[in-house]
Amino acid sequence: MKKVYQIEDQEFSSRSAAARHYGLNPKMVNERISKFGWTLEQALELEARPKGDYRKKVVIDGIEYSSMRQAAKELGVAQSTLMNRIKSGIGVEEVLSGPHSEREKLKGQSKPMFYQGKLYPSARHLLLAHPEVVAGGDLKKAVTSLNDKARRAKNKGETLNLSIDDISDKYGLPKIRFVDEFDSWVAVLGESDLGGLFYEVMG
């Protein structure tokens, strides 16, 4: 029976196929395994190499991440997608929403937020669309700060700070699980006053 390689919930028929998927030279990946004894995950740069640290800081849209893996995690896309799109010269916004991207999953407990009259699925999505709002260039800290402010506003009774699942239950809407469904889902709410349901980020 032909061996199947399982990497990040995906199956590959060969190590070379896995290498091409992650935008790496198959020969280099196979040499790392055969000559240096690396695991396939290490050869694909998904795990730290046996000695030293392969991770390099990356800067995307002015925001610095400790590694490509961290960037992919915080941006909510597959690492392979992010790597391949960047190598192809495609911007992050296209990676997240363009025709070449994978469908980005959306957590039901995400708390939508208003900014400049537009509702975004979460603090992270708002900040990705408006990087100028990110204080100090640290996306993670900015997301945490906005969520903390929304939580405090809820405790003061200024907003309900409802999650996506909460609003689905409140209005009897179908649950949504992908970002590209969000705008059409909001449109179903019509001209209802949503201001008291979500936190509004002031410009």
Encode pLDDT of 40-67 as tens digits: 888 888 887 765 444 566 676 667 777 7
Return the axis-axis angle of helices 79-87 and 68-75, rounded to nearest 10°. 110
CA atoms within 13 A on the CB side of 181: 14
Q: What is the spatial distance between Cα 89 and Cα 15, in angstroms, rounded to a whole number?
A: 26
Global pTM value: 0.49
Q: Using one digit for the tens of pLDDT, what is the confidence trace for 61-106?
A: 667 777 777 777 777 766 666 666 665 554 555 445 444 445 677 8
Q: How far apart are CA 184 and CA 102, in angstroms?
A: 19
The pLDDT mean for the chain works out to 77
